[in-house]
């Protein structure tokens, strides 16, 4: 009897160890990102506003080249869900699957963005001061603390800013401040303490970062 019990216990133990393996084997492997498919989406869907390769198109629209793929996917997901409010982008994003988003993000991130340049010499000094040191008397933190001194950002957390259009950055910072863009509480808090001149100065300085 004892030998029978031991055999039964051994069989149960073996089955318990095999079950997770079988479960794992039954799960499909995660699909790899495909920048080529992303390029097709960019050409067919995104190119009208962002150019076919996400380069320096209209100053009102963001440069997507070289942006962190995780950040791009996050923004597309939030456009689709309505967490970031933009009727045009919601329409396009809603037509994309999660796989489509990852593919197009991989395509844009694989490109190297061309450098930009600051245009307002009177504001660039103020912009640099705020970007690198913040505004102490209003407890506005330095932009460089999250986006890095060169504007490279941190993947999945903070977007790459260097070379971004002044007009686009100004519009986004203003939207955060005015409560129009609501998908980042930290940015809402930071911009709430900045005036129009300071926002424009930081945006122009960012345009020349590289």
| pLDDT per residue of the chain (210 residues) written in tens, 0 to 9 | 444 434 433 433 444 344 443 444 445 556 799 999 999 999 999 999 999 999 989 999 999 999 999 999 999 999 999 999 999 999 999 999 999 999 999 999 999 988 899 999 889 999 999 999 999 999 999 999 999 999 999 988 899 999 999 999 999 999 999 999 999 999 999 999 999 999 999 999 999 998
For residues 190 and 207, give the distance between their C-alpha atoms in angstroms, rounded to a whole number: 19
pTM of the model: 0.84
**CA of 85: how far to CAs of 74, 105, 110, 181, 182, in Å?**
13, 20, 27, 7, 8
């Amino acid at each position: 009897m004892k030998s029978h019990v031991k055999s039964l216990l051994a069989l149960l133990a073996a089955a318990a160890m095999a079950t997770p393996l079988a479960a794992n084997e039954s799960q499909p492997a995660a699909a790899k990102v495909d920048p080529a498919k992303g390029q097709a989406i960019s050409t067919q869907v995104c190119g009208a506003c962002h150019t076919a390769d996400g380069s320096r198109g209209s100053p009102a629209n963001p440069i997507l080249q070289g942006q962190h793929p995780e950040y791009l996917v996050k923004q597309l997901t939030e456009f689709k869900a309505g967490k970031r409010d933009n009727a045009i982008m919601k329409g396009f994003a809603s037509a994309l699957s999660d796989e489509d988003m990852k593919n197009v993000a991989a395509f844009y991130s694989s490109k190297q963005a061309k450098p930009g340049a600051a245009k307002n010499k009177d504001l660039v000094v103020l912009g640099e001061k705020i970007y690198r040191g913040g505004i102490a008397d209003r407890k506005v933190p330095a932009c460089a603390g999250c986006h890095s001194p060169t504007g490279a950002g941190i993947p999945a957390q903070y977007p790459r800013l260097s070379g971004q259009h002044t007009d686009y950055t100004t519009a986004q910072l203003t939207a955060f401040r005015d409560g129009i863009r609501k998908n980042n509480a930290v940015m809402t808090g930071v911009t709430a303490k900045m005036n129009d001149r300071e926002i424009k100065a930081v945006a122009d300085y960012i345009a020349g970062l590289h």
